[in-house]
Structure 1
Amino acid sequence: MTPEAVHRRRWAILAVLMLSLLIVVLDNSILNVAMRTLATPPPTGLGATHGQLEWAVNSYTLVFAGLLFTSGLLGDRYGRKRVLLAGLVLFGVGSVLAGLSGSPGELIAFRALMGVGGALVMPSTLAVLMNVFERDEQPRAMGIWTGGVGVAIAVGPATGGLLLEHFWWGSVFMVNVPIVIVALIAMAVLVPDSRDPAPGRPDIPGVLLSVVGLVLLVYGIIKGGQLADFTDPEVLLTVGGGLAVLAGFVLHERHSRHPALDVRYFREPAFSAAVTAVALVFFALMGVTFFMVFYTQSVRGYTPFQTGLLLLPLAASQLFFASRAELAVKRFGARATCAAGLLAVAATMAAFVLLGTDTPIWVLEVLFVVQGAGMAHVTPPVTVTIMQSLPRERAGSGSAVNNIFRQVGGALGVAVLGSLLSAAYRGRIDGELAGLPGLSENARHAAGESIEATRTLAERMGPAGRALTERADEAFVHAMHITVVASAAVALAGAVVVALFMPGRRSAPGGRGDGEEGRSEGVGVPVAGRGREALKAQPEVER
């Protein structure tokens, strides 16, 4: 049971956790808007190449995903509050250094440091939430938590655009510092510490295998996206090596007396379906979000700040519906709610084919509202399913599993859909570039890398480049249409997985429902691995 003093301030604690989560998610979405600025030569930007810009994003993702599971275990063993505080400090220091970077290389390195801090923060926020809220309130609290993630993703571009209009590019990182300071003070005062009271011996081999496997896997995915070729030997070796190491991790955990992760949880169809749904929905979402910024800015001519404002309906929709998703789960069940949400996401992705070079912008806004509503009916129920399938004392590692699948899915989305976009764009624009006189093979290849590269060439051509700009816009829209159809197919696959394996209606009190024994009280989720062992110790919560 949660101590009464902690229970009384649980909503204030949730607000502090949301503030900590805000800076981790906000920073990545802010960076997306700053891409064009960072690509411009100094002093306006850093003169970063397309590859360097990708690594400014990917260095964070690589470190973040690789350390998520380890940080969850550290929180379970040594105290989630301590890990949260350490993560916030590292994130703040990394933000200052990133804002003062003098070269793209420095920016990439300091973004990796921020990834370490973010990895320490993310799992612990959800683990603390699980330990300060009783089971009947957890779905609502997690709905607000997941809604906050969506808000941060959508509000980031508006914040970044506003900063870029009035300050230098480094301000998109410096804005984290005052938020970090406020979060540190509030956390020290309000948030209790919690840990697994009987963690057993540290599983050092398991931790090392998880880090190496995740880093290799995510690096291979990122490299495949950069090369636009997933059959390249380097990509196959790193992805294959990562999968092999992770297979070794699973085998080790199955036979370990003190496993870092009880892999038996994955035997439960509901648990496995939930983590798969998380991966697939973020695959679809992050891939589309990555290039939507280029559509609004490069093709439609909106400023970074205006682009951020255009994303606000997505944030508002997610925030409004996320806290109400529990009502849909109570009435229709987790399976129907999540499947309907994924179908809405798939339909929205497919509807992006309506967007052209001069489509009324309100069409995009309507699609964002529907997309936000769909996401809001997917992420809270699947997060509840994952977290309530594990004992409370393992909340850190459970949160890490949730976030790992989300990060790997998102990284795959950016890499695979980004590669598809790049290939489709080059296939369309190469014919236009081939007809330009006096253009070398190297210059032609460089100009076909992205719409920004083509536009740069067109600007150098003066009035003669106007036709090339129009062709570039058309080629990008064509490539975007191909990519969103692929994204819609992925979301549709997620809906099928959910419809087949997620639990149905909410079970009756007492853990029985739908004629099956052992269902959770919150969303009708089978409780994996529960029993005497899970009930021996309640998680330790310190004031």
Structure 2
Amino acid sequence: MPSTVVDHSPLPAHSPPPPPRGRRGNPWLTLVAVAFGLFMVGLDGSVVAIANPEIGRDLNASTADLQWVTNSYLLALAAALILGGKLGDRFGRRTYYMIGVAGFTVASVAIGLAGSIEGVIAFRAVQGLFGALLMPNTLGLLRAVFPPGKFGMAVGIWAMVSSVSTALGPIVGGLLVEHVSWESVFYINAPIGIVALVFSALVLPQSRNTTGHQRFDVPGVVLLAAGLLVVVFGVVKGETWGWSSGSTLGTLTVGVVLLLVFGWYETRVQHPLLPMRLFRSPALTIGTIITAVNFFVLLGVIFFVMLYLQNVRGFTPVEAGVRTLPLSLASVVASPLGAKLTEKFGARLSMPLGMVLQAGAAFGMLAWGVHSSYGAMWPPFVALGLGVGMVMAASSDAIVGNSPVKDAGVAGGLQATALQIGGALGTSVLVSLISSRVGSTLTGELTSAGVPAAMAGGMSEAKDAVAMGVSPVSGDMPAQLRAAVVEGSGQAFINGVHTAALVTGVLCVAGAVLAAVGVRRTPE
């Protein structure tokens, strides 16, 4: 039977770490070491989307198979992130960070060598499990070595690495797929991983929770993993099943119930996997919500922007990636700026400001059309990059900076879990919105573009392709008809983009209000 002793002690104040001895334990060398692993995971998360079409052609994979290339990784990652942070807190953050790097690297190479779509899917799941050991312990290691006065800036640089690696994925992936092979998208992790392991072995200090032997919360691990698996599965299948279908609502309900049971159980056990006392901090709680919103916006918007640039505008993956460079460059500036603003004024300023910038980016996309010039595109990219970078720095500081040092890994896992669930929701929900809007406007847009009404009605079956930005044209169509189909399909897709952008903008405004009203600056 679990103990019913509940920890009601207040959150301990931040205590500065001991001074570093030589290179091992040096805060800035620790930051460089964890940046290698973080960059590898961030890059991998966005390059796979570019490689998927080539994987499908080479391995004769169906669309459902390609979805599982992404979903198997996402499910494994989301289910194990908080566990990965807890293992690091208890048995050594350096140890589990390096195990994560090594396993992620080996799994990446195995994906390239798999030779079958089943093998790719299986090793992507393995990759996700090791990513769950790696990611939360990056922040845990930083929390353990940086004094409170410098932690905000360290988080800003951490956020910059995460944002830039994610945004660079389409460019790197496009170059590798076009000029090498889809396998090289995964092989590139090998040299990064080796460098990360060697450097980490030289500079990372060992840090762990020093409160003594504690019983490991196995029931909590099972309940949390099951709840997150079911919720994320419901999210990623919602687009296919329909968001109002019984299957989707039933799956999400089961997942939420499991998570509620987990939360109740954690208040009854003496040494919980996820201490519920952490949520007494409004900044930490709201930071977790805003982290999910932040990646809902980033990954959801990048997904449909890439469809627009490649399928509607006809750019190659590399050309599309280059055109999103303002997003990457803006995030480079915004992450340390957000950290400085958070350090000086608190997350109550920087978090809403970042959300407002993202809202501006989303509303700016309402002016896009089928033939918009690049001059209409880059301002929203800049605003989005500034907003994402600023929110990443502020929310990371709010979550990990407001947790005790002994729970730094768990807090890092909490943030990473919110990030992954938000990203999964962003991609699924926004694609679903685009698809719904395309379905309701496609026939009318085709007719307006000059397609005969009877033919336009028959093309409504192609709405799934049009929702991906692909026009339902064939080689035997007359040139004038072909142009009309392309124009009408493109306009229907843009209608969907406008709906997704509007919903995104409203969500960002709501996030800004929540952060401004709910976050209070924590006294020193």
- What TM-score comes out, normalization by structure 1 length? 0.87
Q: 1:248–1:278: structure 2 CA closer, same or farther, 3 Å change rule?
A: same
Contact 1:226/1:415 (8 A) holds in 2: no
Cα distance in 2 for residues equivalent to 1:235 and 1:172: 33
Q: 1:331–1:180: structure 2 CA closer, same or farther, 3 Å change rule?
A: closer
1:249-264 matches, within 5 Å, as: 249-264=262-277
Q: Secondary structure at the match of 2:464?
A: coil
Contact 1:51/1:226 (8 A) holds in 2: no
Q: Secondary structure at the match of 2:148?
A: coil
Q: 1:373–1:116: structure 2 CA closer, same or farther, 3 Å change rule?
A: same
Query: Counterpart of 1:397 in structure 2: which amino acid?
Result: V
* Range that drifts further, 409-418 or 456-465: 456-465
Aligned to 1:108: 121
Question: 1:336: Cα distance to partner?
Answer: 1.9
Cα distance in 1 for residues equivalent to 2:226 and 2:468: 35
Aligned to 1:450: 465
Cα distance in 2 for residues equivalent to 1:113 and 1:439: 45
Aligned to 1:424: 437
Aligned to 1:265: 278
Aligned to 1:469: 486
Question: RMSD over aligned Cα, in angstroms?
Answer: 2.3
CA offsets 1:160-183 (integer angstroms, 9 cap, x no match): 111122112211111111111111
Aligned to 2:133: 120
CA offsets 1:31-77 (integer angstroms, 9 cap, x no match): 122234334x33xxx34333333222221111111110111111111
- 1:91 lines up with 2:91 in the alignment: no
Question: 1:237: Cα distance to partner?
Answer: 2.1
Query: Counterpart of 1:17 in structure 2: which amino acid?
Result: V
1:462-541 matches, within 5 Å, as: 462=477, 463=479, 464-504=481-521, 519-521=522-524
- 1:325 lines up with 2:342 in the alignment: no
Q: 1:439–1:350: structure 2 CA closer, same or farther, 3 Å change rule?
A: closer
Question: 1:13: Cα distance to partner?
Answer: 1.8
CA offsets 1:477-528 (integer angstroms, 9 cap, x no match): 1110111100111111111110111124xxxxxxxxxxxxxx353xxxxxxx
Cα distance in 1 for residues equivalent to 2:147 and 2:468: 53
Contact 1:64/1:115 (8 A) holds in 2: yes
Cα distance in 1 for residues equivalent to 2:467 and 2:110: 28
Q: 1:139–1:499: structure 2 CA closer, same or farther, 3 Å change rule?
A: same
Aligned to 2:218: 204
Cα distance in 1 for residues equivalent to 2:279 and 2:467: 44
- 1:14 lines up with 2:14 in the alignment: no
Question: 1:435: Cα distance to partner?
Answer: 6.0
- 1:179 lines up with 2:195 in the alignment: no
* Range that drifts further, 422-431 or 135-144: 422-431
- 1:73 lines up with 2:89 in the alignment: no
Question: 1:328: Cα distance to partner?
Answer: 2.0
Question: 1:137: Cα distance to partner?
Answer: 0.6
Question: 1:467: Cα distance to partner?
Answer: 2.5
Aligned to 1:303: 316
Cα distance in 1 for residues equivalent to 2:300 and 2:42: 16
CA offsets 1:347-373 (integer angstroms, 9 cap, x no match): 111111111122111332222112111
Cα distance in 2 for residues equivalent to 1:220 and 1:158: 31
Contact 2:143/2:151 (8 A) holds in 1: yes
Cα distance in 2 for residues equivalent to 1:98 and 1:438: 44
Q: 1:475–1:50: structure 2 CA closer, same or farther, 3 Å change rule?
A: farther
- 1:313 lines up with 2:326 in the alignment: yes
Aligned to 1:226: 240
Cα distance in 2 for residues equivalent to 1:264 and 1:15: 32
Contact 2:47/2:170 (8 A) holds in 1: yes
| Percent identity of equivalent pairs | 33
Aligned to 2:20: 4
Q: Number of paired residues?
A: 500
* Range that drifts further, 75-84 or 137-146: 75-84
Contact 1:2/1:131 (8 A) holds in 2: no
Question: 1:461: Cα distance to partner?
Answer: 3.9
1:18-33 matches, within 5 Å, as: 18-33=35-50
Cα distance in 2 for residues equivalent to 1:423 and 1:48: 26
Cα distance in 1 for residues equivalent to 2:388 and 2:457: 46
Contact 1:284/1:487 (8 A) holds in 2: yes
Q: Secondary structure at the match of 1:195?
A: coil
Query: Counterpart of 1:169 in structure 2: which amino acid?
Result: W
Query: Counterpart of 1:152 in structure 2: which amino acid?
Result: S
Query: Counterpart of 2:37 in structure 1: which amino acid?
Result: S
- 1:58 lines up with 2:71 in the alignment: yes
Q: 1:520–1:183: structure 2 CA closer, same or farther, 3 Å change rule?
A: farther
Contact 1:29/1:154 (8 A) holds in 2: yes
Cα distance in 2 for residues equivalent to 1:406 and 1:27: 15
Cα distance in 2 for residues equivalent to 1:236 and 1:392: 38
Q: Secondary structure at the match of 2:473?
A: helix
* Range that drifts further, 94-103 or 316-325: 94-103
Aligned to 1:529: none
Query: Counterpart of 1:421 in structure 2: which amino acid?
Result: I
Contact 1:220/1:235 (8 A) holds in 2: yes
Contact 1:448/1:454 (8 A) holds in 2: no
Q: 1:488–1:251: structure 2 CA closer, same or farther, 3 Å change rule?
A: same
Q: 1:54–1:345: structure 2 CA closer, same or farther, 3 Å change rule?
A: same
2:203 to 190, 195, 208: 190
CA offsets 1:416-464 (integer angstroms, 9 cap, x no match): 11111111122222564996879998x963x321238784741444545
Q: 1:326–1:96: structure 2 CA closer, same or farther, 3 Å change rule?
A: closer
Q: Secondary structure at the match of 1:168?
A: coil
Query: Counterpart of 1:217 in structure 2: which amino acid?
Result: V
Cα distance in 2 for residues equivalent to 1:104 and 1:165: 20
Query: Counterpart of 2:506 in structure 1: which amino acid?
Result: A
Aligned to 1:511: none
Q: Secondary structure at the match of 2:40?
A: helix
Question: 1:331: Cα distance to partner?
Answer: 4.4
Question: 1:377: Cα distance to partner?
Answer: 2.0
Question: 1:111: Cα distance to partner?
Answer: 1.4
1:148-167 matches, within 5 Å, as: 148-167=161-180
Q: Secondary structure at the match of 1:255?
A: coil
CA offsets 1:107-132 (integer angstroms, 9 cap, x no match): 22221111112111100111011111
Query: Counterpart of 2:214 in structure 1: which amino acid?
Result: G
Cα distance in 2 for residues equivalent to 1:264 and 1:435: 64
